[in-house]
């Protein structure tokens, strides 16, 4: 669809709850400074059994849900939905948008979560086996639903328009943001809340990823465990978190005098159609998602200045992504070629379905502040990765277009493009 026939989509507010802080500004500050939020996991959440080889994670510590809900209401929501609701409240407040104004059927919500209310599921199973089924909480079903966060956000802000939830593993919030953008582009909505939430730092999730050998076991050095593109990477660090955005048509935002932080200009998704967990070795699907997102934005590959990589710190995933980037961008991806790439997962870990949403913060600020956040722990870049990585410290440089990559199990890939808003 041509730029001349669809509505432009802008970001007017955003919020976050991550291992880096309890707000979007706190999260961005830590990303920019390269300050890790990875710590030893709160072991009170685990049964005290032997066999745990992974003792680190990225947790949202010290946040009180009573800051947004009364205690009785908070008890009825899983942590996944609570984090999503908290981030959404910050985004709406930040945007200055009054959700009680306008036509509520023109206001909607698209969210992503790879796993949803897993804490509620685990708790219910324990009760069922240790007591009996009649003792399972009646709130279990609404707590474990993957769409619980979207439903509760719609209720809170009276969003009666387009609403759905994507559960596409680690690509979930990327799909959500792309869909929300297209609802506004096509004229089906004026305002959309979009993003992702995940609260999977639980015994079952850590245990399941642990036995897959997907997680880093660098327990003695938590802050150095997530090391995308480093030759000594040994897996990702599982994290929880949420990030939400208020997206509006440019006309709607300007009519109410909103501050515009960035513009969403393109998005695309693809599938590797290869393996249920491993990426295509040459990044076939990732390449297509990036190429099609650029086409959707109606720009050229040469115009992309910064890529916020999926970069999980896994041996196969990082290699496939770099291969795709080198294929698509050619000489421009080489060191000094003009295109740079970093992975903020090095500081906040892997938030699974919320990853794309959390990392959009970095793309907004790269465009708005002309600062690219670093990949920390990149001490010995894999010798095959001779591209413009940004190690250790942030880099000041003008960024007009930033690309966000988010790839998930099932071979699902999403890329979307943020632009500096110049009017």
Which helix (H) or strand (E) segment holds residue 92: the answer is helix 79-95
Residues 6+ apart with CB under 8 A from 64: none
Q: Are 146 and 166 in contact (CB under 8 A)?
A: no
Please list the alpha-helical segments (H only) found in 274-396: 284-297, 315-329, 345-348, 355-369
- Integer Cα distance of 318 and 335 in angstroms: 17
Residue 310 main-chain phi, psi, to 5 deg: -65, -45
* Selected catalytic residue, list 80, 109, 170, 367: 170
Tokens of 171: 């690509």
Active site residue 367: no
* Selected catalytic residue, list 166, 252, 350, 365: 350
Which residues on adjacent β-strands are paired with residue 267? 416
Active site residue 310: yes
Q: Exposed, middle or buried: residue 292 (CB in 10 Å: 0-12, 13-18, 19+)? A: middle
Q: Which of 57, 159, 144, 60 is nearest to 107 (CA)?
A: 159
* Selected catalytic residue, list 107, 280, 310, 365: 310
What strands, in cross-sheet order, belong to the sheet with 340-342? 163-166, 107-112, 191-198, 241-249, 9-17, 262-271, 412-419, 401-408, 304-308, 340-342
Residue 358, sorted as left (phi over 0), alpha (psi -120 to 50) or beta, turns out to be alpha
- Integer Cα distance of 92 and 244 in angstroms: 9
Residue matched to tokens 């699907």: 285
Active site residue 350: yes
Q: How far is CA 384 from the centre of its chain?
A: 27
Q: Which of 12, 17, 8, 10 is nearest to 357 (CA)?
A: 17
Residues marked as catalytic: 170, 310, 350
């Amino acid at each position: 669809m041509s730029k001349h026939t669809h509505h432009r989509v802008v970001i007017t507010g955003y919020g976050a709850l991550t291992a880096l802080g309890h707000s979007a500004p706190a999260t961005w500050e830590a990303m920019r400074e390269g300050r890790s939020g990875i710590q030893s996991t709160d072991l009170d959440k685990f049964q005290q059994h032997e066999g745990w080889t992974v003792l680190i994670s990225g947790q949202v510590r010290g946040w009180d849900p009573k800051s947004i809900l009364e205690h009785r209401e908070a008890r009825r929501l899983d942590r996944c939905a609570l984090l999503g609701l908290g981030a959404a409240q910050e985004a709406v407040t930040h945007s200055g948008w009054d959700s009680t104004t306008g036509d509520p059927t023109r206001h909607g919500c698209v969210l992503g979560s790879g796993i949803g209310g897993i804490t509620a599921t685990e708790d219910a199973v324990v009760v069922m086996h240790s007591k009996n089924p009649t003792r399972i909480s009646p709130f279990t079903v609404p707590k474990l639903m993957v769409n619980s966060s979207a439903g509760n956000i719609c209720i809170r802000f009276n969003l009666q328009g387009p609403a759905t939830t994507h559960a596409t593993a680690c690509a979930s919030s990327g799909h959500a943001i792309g869909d929300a953008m297209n609802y506004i582009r096509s004229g089906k909505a004026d305002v959309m809340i979009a993003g992702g939430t995940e609260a999977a730092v639980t015994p079952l999730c850590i245990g399941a990823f642990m036995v897959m050998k997907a997680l880093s076991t660098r327990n003695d050095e938590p802050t150095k465990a997530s090391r995308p593109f480093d030759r000594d990477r040994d897996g990702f660090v599982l994290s929880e978190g949420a990030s939400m955005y208020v997206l509006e048509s440019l006309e709607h935002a300007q009519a109410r005098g909103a501050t515009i932080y960035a513009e969403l200009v393109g998005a695309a998704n693809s599938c590797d159609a290869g393996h249920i967990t491993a990426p295509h070795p040459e990044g076939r699907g990732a390449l297509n998602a990036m190429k099609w997102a650029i086409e959707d934005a109606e720009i050229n590959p040469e115009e992309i200045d910064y890529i916020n990589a999926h970069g999980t710190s896994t041996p196969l995933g990082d290699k496939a992504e770099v291969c795709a980037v080198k294929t698509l961008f050619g000489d421009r991806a080489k060191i000094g070629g003009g295109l740079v790439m970093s992975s903020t997962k090095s500081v906040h870990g892997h938030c699974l379905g919320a990853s794309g949403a959390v990392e959009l913060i970095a793309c907004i600020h790269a465009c708005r502040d002309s600062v690219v956040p670093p990949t920390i722990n990149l001490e010995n870049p894999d010798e095959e990765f001779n591209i413009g990585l940004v190690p250790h410290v942030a880099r000041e440089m003008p960024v007009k277009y930033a690309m966000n990559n988010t790839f998930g199990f099932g071979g699902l890939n999403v890329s979307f493009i943020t632009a500096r808003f110049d009017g």
